[in-house]
């Protein structure tokens, strides 16, 4: 709307009208008894608005502060989970939290976690557990959702949280990389490298202790 410079001469009472709107000011015109006066008043956008005619919405400024009324920048940074000069971008690149300064856990398929609280939308990738998928499987479990059981690792140690391998080998009587298979017939002990006694019938012995399951008559 173009600025108004005068009103009809017959106007005898005070009239105020908004005749121009900028980002920072309102221009009022007053006419009384034939005299015209322009009144420029400072005006700044508020209520989370900024820009020309205050037609743009502020981002997520810290503590819900008003952004700069001209350019939309947040004076004291962003609220938790947001970034950028205008705080209108959610944390990405597997970060979250204040200033996007925290790293997401191991979400399924390494997807982005929730930009504010870090929770994983679709659960955890193999070997991890918890809402934020930051905790490795424990308690003798491994794999997706920590749903698989470890084998018989040396001294009952926790197996690898992702693939279930026993990091320090198997306990007595077990073999293979995950220590889930008992020693073959006729063998026992660590790494199944000891043979059952010749006194054992058919060389059958306990895979852990080496004790004969059946004793041969010739063993008496």
Q: What is the pLDDT of residues 138-181, one digit of tens each?
A: 999 999 999 999 999 999 999 999 999 999 999 999 999 999 99
Per-residue confidence (pLDDT) for residue 154, from 0 to 100:
97
Write out the E strands in the chain: 15-21, 25-32, 35-42, 49-50, 56-57, 82-83, 89-90, 95-96, 102-103, 128-129, 135-136, 141-142, 148-149, 174-175, 181-182, 187-188, 194-195
Answer whether 0.85 is exceeded by the pTM: no
Contact 188, 211 (CB under 8 A): no
6-51 pLDDT, tens digit each: 434 433 334 343 333 333 444 445 555 555 555 555 678 999 999 9
Per-residue confidence (pLDDT) for residue 217, from 0 to 100:
56
Per-residue confidence (pLDDT) for residue 5, from 0 to 100:
44
119-147 pLDDT, tens digit each: 999 999 999 999 999 999 999 999 999 99
Per-residue confidence (pLDDT) for residue 37, from 0 to 100:
55
76-124 pLDDT, tens digit each: 999 999 999 999 999 999 999 999 999 999 999 999 999 999 999 999 9
Cross-strand pairs, 182: 174
Contact 25, 41 (CB under 8 A): yes
């Amino acid at each position: 709307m173009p600025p108004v410079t005068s009103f009809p001469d017959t106007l005898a009472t005070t009239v105020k009208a908004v005749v121009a709107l900028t980002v920072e000011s309102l221009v009022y015109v007053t006419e009384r008894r034939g005299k015209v006066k322009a009144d420029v008043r400072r005006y700044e956008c508020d209520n989370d608005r900024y820009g020309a005619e205050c037609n743009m919405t502020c981002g997520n400024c810290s503590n819900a502060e008003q952004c700069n009324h001209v350019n939309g920048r947040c004076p004291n940074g962003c609220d938790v989970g947001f970034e950028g000069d205008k705080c209108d971008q959610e944390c990405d690149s597997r970060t979250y939290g204040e200033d996007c300064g925290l790293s997401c856990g191991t979400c399924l398929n390494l997807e982005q976690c929730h930009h504010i609280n870090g929770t994983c939308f679709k659960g955890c990738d193999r070997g991890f557990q918890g809402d934020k998928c930051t905790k490795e499987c424990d308690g003798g479990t491994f794999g997706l959702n920590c749903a698989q059981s470890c084998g018989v690792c040396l001294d009952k140690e926790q197996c690898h949280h992702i693939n279930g391998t026993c990091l320090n080998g198997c306990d007595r009587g077990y073999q293979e990389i995950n220590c889930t298979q008992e020693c073959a017939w006729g063998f026992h002990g660590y790494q199944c490298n000891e043979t059952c006694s010749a006194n054992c019938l058919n060389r059958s012995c306990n895979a852990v202790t080496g004790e004969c399951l059946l004793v041969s008559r010739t063993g008496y």
